[in-house]
Chains A and B, each alone.
Chain A
Amino acid sequence: MGTAHHRAIWANKTALIVGIGGLGSPAALALAEAGVGTLILVDDDVVELSNLHRQILYAEADVGRHKLDVARERLLARAGSDVLTVRSRLLPDNARELVRRADVVLEGADNFATKFLAADACALEGVPIVHGAAVRLVGTVLSVGAHGRACYRCLFEDVLPPERAPNCAEAGVLGPVVGIVGALMADLALDVLSGDCSRTSVLHSYDAKTDRLRAAAVHARADCALCGSAKSISDTLEARYLAPSPPSSITF
């Protein structure tokens, strides 16, 4: 990777990054330094002091500023990518229009609703997506090609109640873990932009406690609602992204 040939390809590509936080920061930096032509950053948050240990684009003096503004400044100062910003969250009514603008989408959302929304929007628009997540000492990355199979819904079927899975705001996450996971997201996104799908539909799991990176194939499920033979998802209606079950005492 990173040859003149690849850089010439990447210079004409657009990557859309959902969330410029712990995962989005290193991913954006890596993509910019690799020479990806255009980055579209989607976020509506401001920098907080508690972000700084893991969100490497920001410094203490940035606290209170919009992440988009700071991220854009930092990326422009370091690399030649065009950096466009969208001050919003990824929402059911803007998701498809946003992902359509990109050659690859990277999402490191801290909630399952956004993850499934991003997966659905990309599948419906035929846009490759790289999903990333990190909690405590572990992280996972899954890249899904434009063909859309196997997809995030093949792996984790539907939106689950937030009570059932921790996110990093509640469970905490180690700064270096998001750095590694975010860099891996960028690496897989660059593959996709080069037309290399050899690492799509593979679940990469990183465990910082054992320093182990596992790769396990994700198979397409025949009954997947998004990409299966009788798929039922053809839109991104809001109701689809509401947790289906009442709060449970079971937490995973």
Chain B
Amino acid sequence: MAVTVRIPTPLRTLTGGNESVQAEGKNVRELVENLESAHPGLRERLLDEKGAVRRFVNLYVGEEDIRFLDGLDTELSGSEEISIVPAIAGGL
């Protein structure tokens, strides 16, 4: 069952401008792989060379940071909303 993934503005160039996309995955790791298939380049923005979530990106399942769940192994039932929250600077 597909979950909704909210895409932050800087990554919308990879999703055809869409602010949210649907993707499937039994856990977050699988979800990222499926996102990569549909939107090439997305995985590299989220994960580093070792496959870990980049330090300046946070992935939320609902309102919870996956680092405090089971990381990339956090299971998805299909009803969740996933948010990608990158570090941003700006405002001056």
Question: In the bound complex, what is the Cα–Cα distance between A109 and B92 (angstroms)?
Answer: 6
Q: Does A209 contact B (CB under 8 A)?
A: yes
Would you call B85 and A111 a contact (CB within 8 A)?
Answer: no
Chain B residues with Cβ under 8 A from A108's Cβ? Answer: 91-92
Q: Among the interface residues B86, B89, B92, which one has the most CB atoms of the partner chain A within 10 A?
A: B92
Q: Which of A72-80, A97-105, A159-167, A233-241 contacts B (4 or more CB under 8 A)?
A: A159-167
In this complex, what residue of A is CB-closest to B90? A168
Instruction: Tell me which residues from 7 to 66 in chain B have a Cβ below 8 Å from any Cβ of chain A.
Output: 8-11, 19, 44-45, 54-58, 60, 63-65
In this complex, what residue of A is CB-closest to B81? A214
Question: In the bound complex, what is the Cα–Cα distance between A166 and B65 (angstroms)?
Answer: 22
Q: Does B88 contact A (CB under 8 A)?
A: yes
Q: Does B87 contact A (CB under 8 A)?
A: yes
Q: Chain B's nearest CB lies how many Å from the CB of A184?
A: 12
In this complex, what residue of A is CB-closest to B92? A21
Q: Among the interface residues B19, B86, B91, which one has the most CB atoms of the partner chain A within 10 A?
A: B91
Q: Does A138 contact B (CB under 8 A)?
A: yes
A167 interface neighbour in B67, B86, B89, Cβ under 8 Å: B89
Would you call A216 and B64 a contact (CB within 8 A)?
Answer: yes
Q: Among the interface residues B10, B57, B58, B90, which one has the most CB atoms of the partner chain A within 10 A?
A: B90
Chain B residues with Cβ under 8 A from A109's Cβ? Answer: 89, 91-92
Q: Does A124 contact B (CB under 8 A)?
A: no
Would you call A136 and B9 a contact (CB within 8 A)?
Answer: yes
Question: In the bound complex, what is the Cα–Cα distance between A217 and B10 (angstroms)?
Answer: 23
Number of interface residues of A (CB under 8 A): 52
Contact with A along B61-85 (1 / 0, CB 8 A): 0011101100000000000000101
Number of interface residues of B (CB under 8 A): 27
- A203-B85, A252-B11 known; A166 vs B67 contact (CB < 8 Å): no
Instruction: Tell me which residues from 139 to 159 in chain A have a Cβ below 8 Å from any Cβ of chain B.
Output: 139-140, 155-158
A112 interface neighbour in B44, B87, B91, Cβ under 8 Å: B87
Would you call B90 and A171 a contact (CB within 8 A)?
Answer: yes
Question: In the bound complex, what is the Cα–Cα distance between A140 and B89 (angstroms)?
Answer: 9
Would you call B85 and A132 a contact (CB within 8 A)?
Answer: no
Q: Does A39 contact B (CB under 8 A)?
A: no
In this complex, what residue of A is CB-closest to B45? A252
Q: Chain B's nearest CB lies how many Å from the CB of A243?
A: 11
Question: In the bound complex, what is the Cα–Cα distance between A217 and B67 (angstroms)?
Answer: 12
Would you call A133 and B91 a contact (CB within 8 A)?
Answer: yes
Q: Does A197 contact B (CB under 8 A)?
A: no
- Which 4 A-B pairs give the minimum distances between C-beta atoms? A21-B92, A168-B90, A23-B91, A108-B91
> 10 more A-B contacts (CB under 8 A) besides A111-B89, A134-B91, A209-B19?
A23-B91, A133-B91, A136-B10, A138-B9, A165-B10, A166-B10, A171-B90, A214-B63, A216-B85, A218-B65
What are 18 of the A-B contact pairs (CB < 8 Å)? A23-B91, A23-B92, A45-B92, A109-B89, A109-B91, A109-B92, A110-B89, A110-B91, A133-B87, A138-B8, A138-B88, A156-B58, A166-B10, A167-B90, A168-B91, A171-B90, A216-B65, A252-B56
Binding site for A on B (CB under 8 A): 8-11, 19, 44-45, 54-58, 60, 63-65, 67-68, 83, 85-92
